A = this chain, B = another copy of it.
Amino acid sequence: MDPVVVVSNRGPLSFRLDDDGNPLAVGAAGGLAGTLQPLLEGSGSTWISCSMSEADRTAAARGLMRGEGLRLLNVFPSPDVYRMAYDVISNATLWFCFHHLFDLSRRPRFDSRWREAWEGYRELNRQFARLVVEAAPEGSSVLVQDYHLLLTGRLIARERPDLRTVHFLHTPFCSPEILRVLPPDVAGELLSGMAGFGACGFHARRWESCFRQCWEDPELAAAAGSPPPPTFVAPIGPVPEAIQSEAASPACAQARRSLRQLVGDRRLIVRVDRVELSKNILRGCWAVEELLELHPDWRGRVVLLALAYPSREGLAEYLAYRSEVEHAVERINERWGQGDWQPIVLDVADDRARSLAALCEYDVLLVNPLRDGLNLVAKEGPLINATDGVLALSREAGAWPELREDAVGLNPFDVHGTAEALDAALRMEPPERRRRADALRQRVLSRRAADWLEDQLLAAGR
């Protein structure tokens, strides 16, 4: 393999300080870094990421940022620059924009303070680009990951035309009608930044097509000031061996036993998400309520286990959403619960063994995001589920076109329709469940994380 440089906000290693102030390593906590790490270990690749805490800085200073057969390098933005780039621009602006989450009559509010934050995003992108320019081996393929780093391609190309850069976006891309929400110079700089890569990749044809449509909007195209880059579609998949071995661990077996005790002989609907506005946890709860209302025979006989671990609690929107979810669950349980039965069990602990146990045990896996780059849970579930469980999947998830034939589809905004999809999934006959579960497993196994990585390298080589 030619030299490869991976560039991402979060790296495979982060640190926390112990009681004596010494840095202790914490492994990649799932997510993209967790998927990439096993693919890159031992390859001699370079991985450039952001040092995000005092502990990371101390660890780097002491030479502890070392991977197995991997060269790990870090940028060290000031906490202020990082907060502006990561919280205000990446998470509160670009994430909201690409997922269509703005409540447009009120948010966003692009004022002078936001303009400062935008300068922070540009600065962080320059710091990343500078390190790539300095450290990338001659002729490397440079794989830049996700929406935190959209401006780096053009900056890198200017200094190092020998490098072959690719950007891969893990979120959806938005409609041009929503990209127009951004100030025109900002929308233009993002588009022209992406056009500075050798190629841009997406998880689904639909996001690629939204991206390309931006060049058909005359004002956006004028703001971009350059033609669109080559694009490609390369959905990610799991690393099957990694998740299967985790699912076979004693901790997971123990969690499965507790779970079966909790559920008893009731039917089990599972969801596993971050507490995230795009995941649509609220309407999932409303749909269970509608199910109980429309189909009284499910009362007392079905449980939604909602594993929802907190996320981005520095943003007010996320705290508010979490509290709305908690109130909805409380209200629904109060209205419908009887004896020891509560229709919804909400667990906000970040417990990996319990999440995997729930994926092994579900009768129905509810994946109902409003809009989602791919949704890896929709692939991991069928891979390790042991009960021929049914996948109820949003048509707005990037994974939909790959899995649609064997999933039960749903419109995530349609609470009534979601309730009917859950009912259909719960009532599905065993032979049909088995056929679909087998087919889903085969589909998932046929497209792994390694294939996705390979597609990026191919795109870089063009």
Contacts and interface: CB of A to CB of B under 8 A. Distances in A.
Interface of A: 100-101, 103-106, 108-112, 114-115, 174-178, 180-184, 210, 213, 219, 277-278, 280, 282-283, 286, 290, 293-294, 321, 324, 370, 395-396, 411, 413-417
Contacts of A100: 104, 177-178
Contact of A101 (B104, B110, B184): B104
A293 B178 CA distance: 29
A341 to B, nearest CB: 23
A277 B105 contact: yes
Nearest first, the 7 A-B pairs at minimum CB distance are A103-B103, A105-B277, A175-B177, A175-B175, A183-B414, A111-B415, A110-B414
B413 A283 contact: no
B105 A415 contact: no
A286 B395 contact: no
A305 to B, nearest CB: 21
Given A104-B370, A175-B175, A278-B105, A183 B396 contact: no
A178 B180 contact: no
A416 B115 contact: yes
A282 B210 contact: no
A112 B414 CA distance: 10
A396 B286 CA distance: 34
Contacts of A395: 180, 219
Contacts of A181: 411, 413
B175 A112 contact: no
28 contacts: A100-B104, A101-B104, A101-B105, A103-B103, A104-B413, A105-B277, A105-B280, A105-B321, A105-B370, A106-B282, A106-B324, A110-B411, A110-B413, A110-B414, A110-B416, A110-B417, A111-B415, A112-B294, A112-B416, A174-B177, A177-B177, A177-B178, A177-B210, A180-B396, A180-B411, A181-B413, A184-B411, A213-B213
A67 B299 CA distance: 59
Query: Copies of this chain, how many?
Result: 2
Contacts of A103: 103
Contacts of A219: 395
Given A100-B104, A105-B278, A278-B105, A290 B111 contact: yes
A282 B111 CA distance: 13
Contacts of A178: 100, 175, 177
Contacts of A112: 290, 293-294, 416
A324 to B, nearest CB: 8
Q: Which of A177, A182, A184 has the most CB of B within 10 A?
A: A177
Nearest to A183: B414
Contacts of A111: 286, 290, 415-416
B105 A416 contact: no
Given A112-B293, A175-B175, A183-B413, 5 more contacts: A100-B104, A101-B105, A105-B370, A110-B413, A180-B396
A302 to B, nearest CB: 18
A286 B280 CA distance: 31
A17 B183 CA distance: 50
Contacts of A105: 101, 277-278, 280, 282, 321, 370
B411 A109 contact: no
Given A178-B100, A321-B105, A417 B183 contact: yes
Contact of A109 (B109, B294, B415): B415
Contacts of A294: 112
Nearest to A213: B213
Nearest to A172: B177
Contacts of A183: 411, 413-414, 416-417
A311 B281 CA distance: 32
A108 B413 contact: yes
